Amino acid sequence: MKKPALLIISVVLLFAIMACSIGGVAATATPQPTQTPMPTDTEIPPTPTATSTTKPANTPKPTDVPMVTLREFERAFRDAGFTAYAFSDGTGNIWVLDNVFENMYTYDSGWVEIEVLNSLKTRLDHMEQRFEVMDDLFPADFMDLLREANEDYAGTVGAGVTGKAVDPYGPNAGDFWKYQSAYYNVSEETIAGYDVRFALFFQQWTCPPEYICTFPSFGNQEFSGQASFVFYEVAFGLDV
Strand order in the sheet with 194-206: 83-86, 92-96, 104-107, 111-117, 226-237, 194-206, 180-191, 166-169
Phi then psi for residue 83, to 5 deg, are -110, 135
Q: What angle do CA 62, 68, 69 make, to 5 degrees?
A: 135
- CA-wise closest residue to 208 among 171, 160, 165: 171
Which segments within 1-82 are labelled E, that is strand? Answer: none
156 has a pLDDT exceeding 50 = yes
Q: Do 188 and 196 touch, CB atoms closer than 8 A? A: yes
- Lowest mean pLDDT of 65-69, 92-96, 125-129, 155-159, name the range: 65-69
CA 86 to chain CA centroid, Å, is 31
3 has a pLDDT exceeding 50 = no
pLDDT confidence of residue 216: 76
Which SS3 state, helix, strand or coil, does residue 149 take? helix
Query: Tens digit of pLDDT for each residue in 123-141?
Result: 999 999 999 999 999 999 9
pTM of the complete model: 0.71
232 has a pLDDT exceeding 50 = yes
Q: Specify the higher pLDDT residue, 221 or 44.
A: 221
Query: Tens digit of pLDDT for each residue in 90-124?
Result: 999 999 999 989 999 999 999 999 999 999 999 99
Query: Tens digit of pLDDT for each residue in 203-229?
Result: 999 998 888 988 877 778 888 999 999
pLDDT confidence of residue 143: 98
Q: Do 181 and 170 touch, CB atoms closer than 8 A? A: yes
8 has a pLDDT exceeding 90 = no
pLDDT confidence of residue 64: 62
Binning pLDDT at 50, 70 and 90, where does residue 10 land?
very low
Mean pLDDT of the chain: 81
